[in-house]
Structure 1
Amino acid sequence: MKKAAGFALIKTIPIFLGYIFLGIAFGLLLQKAGFGVLWAFLISLLVYAGSMQFALAGILTGGLGYLTTAVMTLLINSRHAFYGLTFIDRFKEMKGAGPYMVFSLTDETYSLLCSVARPRGFTDRQWKLAFLFISLFNQCYWVAGSVIGAVMGQMIAFDTTGIEFAMTALFTVICVNQWLAAKTHLPAGAGFLCGFLFLALIRSSGFILPALMATVALLLIFKHTIEKKMEDPS
């Protein structure tokens, strides 16, 4: 267990650096909306949805109904349904920890779980524990950042204009790192192409779901080509 935890701790350091500051940004926004430290802690613990939490800060003060909030949450986080397809078998093997792994599959955690390589000498149990610790540590970072931000918002007056850009900045860094580490850029190219195409057609945040569906379709069509590139990138 210590070996798996140590491995996860090292691998999640970049996420720690991002989540602490993103969490602080969320905590500050929530505090500005009139909600205190307890709200920041509970939302990050029980909702834990990144961009949805930033939207939730406005929803809580906007008087939206439960149904509207539920539909918005589903649409904003619909991309996670595609993330989960990658790890269905893996999470089933984790048995009792499986439901938590599904709950904790954020964009950054998904990216890390996809790219992390199994160390030599790790047993199956240690590898499963490493997956669990990666997810758990990432959520702890987010919760800690949110609480710190809420506390800071109570003690110090902040101008929070533009602070929500921290989420975009983290996504950009992850994208660049994945691009540099990838053996083939076909999947990323498909994602960029579909994203720009549907953004031009729909011209609203609703472009994300159809863009993801089109990207998955392209990846399935060109599956064998991508697998060959992964085996021999030359």
Structure 2
Amino acid sequence: MQGSFIKILIQTLPVLMGYLPLGMAFGILFSTLNIEWYYGILCSLLIFTGAGQFLLVSLLALKSGYLEIAFASFMLNIRHIFYSLAILDDIKEFGIKKYYILFGLTDETFATLKTSHLQDTQYSKENRFFLITLLNHMYWILGGALGIFMGQGLGFQPQGVEFALTALFSVLTLALLQTSDNKIPFFIGLAIGIFGLIVFPSEHFLLFSMIFGILLLIIGKNFIERKNICTK
């Protein structure tokens, strides 16, 4: 059984290498909010969404309201609904552990579960999936705890760290723009962002911009699709 656990542990090592530094970055940023340290641990324990937790730190720093935080978090993490749908056939026969697996279904955990083919282990498929999810969750909590300790205990100053999420989203956006045939939504979003900065109040900028953008894309859906067809 120990050998089986080690095989699963090895499979999750790439996630460990990513979650420790990212979790530490979250913990360091959280420590700047002047909020009790254990709330940061609870965030990693109960929320467990990498980008969502970085977004939460930014929104808390801006003193955003509950509605803005809830809506922005939902929109950022809506992709997890599709992860759950994609993995339902694999876990539908599982017992109560499937609910924890669905809770812990991050991008990296989903990728690891879908590529998990350790049929030679002594664990059942349900226990393999559960252990992979649990280990990844523990890695994130550990990274967050270390970051909070560095920020509050050692007085680590996060100069530049707070820009990590902005840089990550910028890189992902530009990469998606390069590979996308239809670039109209990007330019619409860019225009809405600039418009929102000028028109909307800063404390509700994100919420109003997202709502305005969704409505505009829904209304202009047919035009965007026709334009995309014409450019091909």
Please, what TM-score do these two structures have when normalized by structure 2?
0.70
Asked if residue 148 in structure 1 is aligned to residue 168 in structure 2, the reply is: no
**Residue deviations 1:10-54 (CA, integer Å, cap 9, x gap):** 111111111111111000000011124211211100011111101
Q: For residues 83 and 33 of structure 1, what CA distance do their matches in structure 2 show?
A: 32
Question: Greater Rg, structure 1 or structure 2?
Answer: 2
Please state whether the residue corresponding to 2:14 is helix, strand or coil: helix
- What is aligned with 2:227? none
> Percent identity of the aligned residues?
34
Q: For residues 168 and 111 of structure 2, what CA distance do their matches in structure 1 show?
A: 12
- What is aligned with 1:118? 117
Aligned residues: 193
Which blocks of at least 5 consecutive residues in structure 1 are unaligned? 172-188, 211-234
**Residue deviations 1:57-89 (CA, integer Å, cap 9, x gap):** 122233322222211111110111111111012
Asked if residue 107 in structure 1 is aligned to residue 94 in structure 2, the reply is: no
Please state whether the residue corresponding to 1:159 is helix, strand or coil: coil
Q: For residues 181 and 43 of structure 2, what CA distance do their matches in structure 1 show?
A: 32
1:85 to 1:195, Cα distance in 2 relative to 1, 3 A? farther
Q: For residues 167 and 112 of structure 1, what CA distance do their matches in structure 2 show?
A: 23
AA paired with 2:129? F
1:47 to 1:7, Cα distance in 2 relative to 1, 3 A? same
1:72 to 1:28, Cα distance in 2 relative to 1, 3 A? same
- What is aligned with 2:156? 158
Please, what TM-score do these two structures have when normalized by structure 1?
0.70
**Contact conserved, 1:4 with 1:133, CA < 8 A, in 2?**
no
Which blocks of at least 5 consecutive residues in structure 2 are unaligned? 170-175, 194-205, 218-232
- Correspondence list, 1:3-14, <5 A: 3-14=3-14
1:168 to 1:48, Cα distance in 2 relative to 1, 3 A? same
Q: For residues 111 and 168 of structure 1, what CA distance do their matches in structure 2 show?
A: 24
**Contact conserved, 2:16 with 2:139, CA < 8 A, in 1?**
yes
**Contact conserved, 2:44 with 2:140, CA < 8 A, in 1?**
yes
Q: For residues 52 and 18 of structure 1, what CA distance do their matches in structure 2 show?
A: 16
